[in-house]
Amino acid sequence: MKKKVIQSFSPEQTQNIGKICSAWLRPGDCIPLFGDLGSGKTCFVQGVAKGLGVSDSIIVNSPSFTLINCYEARIPLYHIDLYRINSEEELEDIELMDLIAGHCITLIEWPQLIIPKLHEIPLQIDFVWDMTSENRRTLVFTADSRFNDLFRSLTNDHSGN
């Protein structure tokens, strides 16, 4: 597993990083997004959705209450958020694992409880906001070699495009 650390200085940059990532995601990928409240996970997913070709008229908003939102795209996108799920029992109860399908890309906010159930984690991202500045976020990517090219294309210069 390799690591790559990248800084974002605006929501637009974080979305753009998501957009860049989307090009390297494949059907069946299940990507956990770690990070505290307000660290930019949903913002990142908005960029992935854009990159996958989700129509501009479709709003990608937070699934914290709905638990799951689904978007039609070049590869269908599931956006899951387990913020409200407090136990393994509750997780079982909402039958999410049945939804995580081979033909979709699944991005999961607040993924702690589901991690033991994932067969593989080709890529995970940790969003860090140290609150020294209002808009700076650090994104830590951890991935297998499949994402070497992504790591090369993620530079702090490009994130502003």
Partner 1 sequence: MIILGIESSCDDCSASIVKDGNQVLSIVIAGQEKYHRKFGGVVPEIAARKHLEHILPVINHSFDKSGCTWKDIDGIAVTHQPGLAGSLIVGLTAAKTLAFLHKKPLIGIHHIEAHAFSACLAGMRYGTPHIALVVSGGHTSLLRFDSEGNIHRIGQTLDDAAGEAFDKVAKLLGYGYPGGPIIDRLALESPATDIVFPRPMMNSNDFNFSFSGLKTAIMYYRKHHPHTAASEIAAAFQNAVIEVLVTKTLQALTKFNLDTLAVVGGVASNQGLRQAFHQMSAKHNLELYVPSPKLCTDNAAMVAGLGYYKLKHNKTSKLTLGIKTNADIKN
Ligand X SMILES: Nc1ncnc2c1ncn2[C@@H]1O[C@H](COP(=O)(O)OP(=O)(O)OP(=O)(O)O)[C@@H](O)[C@H]1O
Residues that bind partner 1 (CB under 8 A): 37-38, 42-43, 58-59, 61-72, 76, 78, 84-87, 89-90, 93-95, 99, 129, 131, 134
Q: Compare residues 9 and 151 and give the one whose CB is closer to ligand X.
A: 9
Residue 10 touches Mg ion, criterion: CB under 5 A: no
Query: At 5, which amino acid appears?
Result: V
Residue 138 touches ligand X, criterion: CB under 6 A: no
Residue burial 51-69, b: 16+ Cβ < 10 Å; e: rest: bbebeeeeebeebeeeebb
Helix axes 11-22, 41-51, angle to 10 degrees: 50
**From candidates 66, 112, 135, 155, binder to ligand X by CB under 6 A:** 135
- Write the CB contacts of 100 (distance below 8 Å, at least 6 apart in sequence): 30, 78, 106
Contact 116/40 with Cβ under 8 angstroms?
no
Query: At 44, which amino acid appears?
Result: F
**From candidates 31, 51, 137, 154, binder to ligand X by CB under 6 A:** 137
Given the rule CB under 5 A, which of 46-54, 70-78, 109-117, 130-138 is the region that contacts Mg ion? 109-117
Residue 62 touches Mg ion, criterion: CB under 5 A: yes
Contact 31/108 with Cβ under 8 angstroms?
yes
Instruction: Draw the binding track, 64-93, toward ligand X (x: CB under 6 A; -: no contact).
Output: x-----------------------------
- Reduce the DSSP state of residue 106 to 3 states and report it: strand
Q: Which of residues 1-40 bind ligand X (CB under 6 A)?
A: 8-11, 13-14, 35, 37-40
Which listed option, ligand X, Mg ion, partner 1, none, makes contact with residue 124 (CB within 5 to 8 Å by class)?
Answer: none
Angstrom distance (rounded) from CA 35 to CA 113: 14
Q: Compare residues 8 and 100 and give the one whose CB is closer to ligand X.
A: 8
